[in-house]
Amino acid sequence: MRRTITLLLLAAAAAWAQDTCVECHESLEGDLQAPAKAWPNDVHRARGFGCADCHGGDPTAMDPEKAMSRAKGFRGAIRRTQIPNLCARCHSDPDLMHRYDPQQRVDQLAQYRTSIHGKRLAAGDENVATCVDCHSVHDIREVKDPLSPVYPLRIVVTCARCHADEKLMANYNLWATQPEDYKASVHWKALAERGDLSAPSCASCHGNHGATPPQVSSVAAVCGLCHALQEQFFDKSPHYQAFTDLGLSGCVVCHGNHRIEHPTDAMLSVEDGVCGKCHEADSPPGKTAAEIQGMLTKLAEELDRSRAVLDEARTAGIEVSEADVQWAQGREKLLKARVTVHSFDADAVRRDIDEGLKITAAVYQAGLDALKERDRRRLGLVFSLVAIAITIIGLWLAIRSREQRNASRKAAEG
């Protein structure tokens, strides 16, 4: 019995003493304490890893000299140039990684080496981002954790730590306005305001571990990852070859890059839209742009007009759900036409617009019929109320007449 208790106590003491690093560093101050404070939130700790797995040393030794002994493989603080290789010891090992997550990628280091960051680091530039600059250190969280610095909603802030730093970016001849520009874009609105986590953030276009700016030739392909139909139309349009010849990067010419605002039909205007940047109003392309803009505006106005009639009918209590479904189909035609615009072919756009106009005409008529129905109902109500009122007056007169007759009879009797 005594032997068993002694063994249990020894086992408990050994378990307690397994990570003396945390125990000591918690009692320190400043930078030496910070890792121990952050460590409880780290995903590696949750998976059973300890300080020594990265820093080496003996985490079971109570004596700091022995715990941080070079003889025991203690590395101390990791040099920035060594970080990617250190992380890759595990993250590039499929056997190890797939024990924790069968779908986990193991090509992060290979990708990083192709990135601008990786190339500059290899050249000895220690100011570029390494793994810990984006993923944090000692409190590394899973990417899907909303508190992770690489979670979609936070990644722009993480990138901005360097890319919004004018002084740092000046060393690389880069602007530092991209993060602010992005925050004014339709993509950030979708991500932050609508909560659509599939909306693009920095890494969606530039890549994450293999981060690199899309080149002129690849911009359309990057945008086409989401906007596939627009890309297809654009590739077949006259602009594709013209932009390629001029060395212009497709989508960016009209929509910009980081500050991509919600596109409007007015963008097609030759006077104050983007088409006017290259085309004169009386040139054939200028006329085509004006024609397409006119068609889109017409369908949008028709949709608004029929929506107003339907809303008026619904407010009056008329059932218009079938017309609502039709209206949504008309709206889809407008959206389709706005995609077809990227072909810059007025006839192709007209086909979508004509279908949309046909639908909106039917919807508008359905709305007018609904309003007529409302008026018929109200007229019917007036007639019914008049008939009911006449009947009530008749009943009241009959009651009054009986009361008067009874009163006269009682008076005659009394």
Query: Around Cβ 370, how many Cβ atoms within 10 Å?
Result: 19
Segment contacting another protein (CB under 8 A): 69-77, 209-217, 318-326, 328-336? 318-326
292 or 309, CB closer to another protein? Answer: 309
83: tokens are 């970080």
Among positions 361-380, residues that touch another protein (CB under 8 A) are 377-378, 380
Q: Is 317 in the site for another protein (CB under 8 A)?
A: yes
Nearest to 350 by CA among 373, 330, 333, 325: 333
Binding status of residue 389 toward another protein by CB under 8 A: yes
Select from 100-108, 237-245, 268-276, 316-324 the region that touches another protein (CB under 8 A): 316-324
CA distances from 11 to 16, 50, 59, 64, 248 (A): 9, 18, 15, 21, 69
Q: How far is CA 157 from CA 41, 143, 219, in A?
A: 20, 15, 23
Q: What is Dmax (Cα atoms) for the chain?
A: 133
Q: What does the alpha-carbon distance between residue 150 and residue 143 come to, in Å, rounded to a whole number?
A: 6
Q: Does the footprint of another protein cover residue 398 (CB under 8 A)?
A: yes
Q: Which of 371, 296, 366 is nearest to 331 (CA)?
A: 296
Task: Choose between 93 and 322: whose C-beta lies nearer to another protein.
Answer: 322
Nearer to another protein, 9 or 397 (CB): 397
> 231: how many CB neighbours lie within 10 A of its CB?
20
Q: Which of 311, 319, 347, 375 binds another protein (CB under 8 A)?
A: 319
Work out whether 384 is an interface residue with another protein (CB under 8 A). Answer: yes
Stretch that binds another protein, among 12-20, 153-161, 275-283, 397-405 (CB under 8 A): 397-405
Chosen residue from 396, 404, 408, 409 binding another protein by CB under 8 A: 396
The only residue of 399, 404, 405, 409 in contact with another protein, by rule CB under 8 A: 399
Residues near another protein, by CB under 8 A: 317-319, 321-322, 377-378, 380-381, 384-385, 388-389, 391-392, 395-396, 398-399, 402
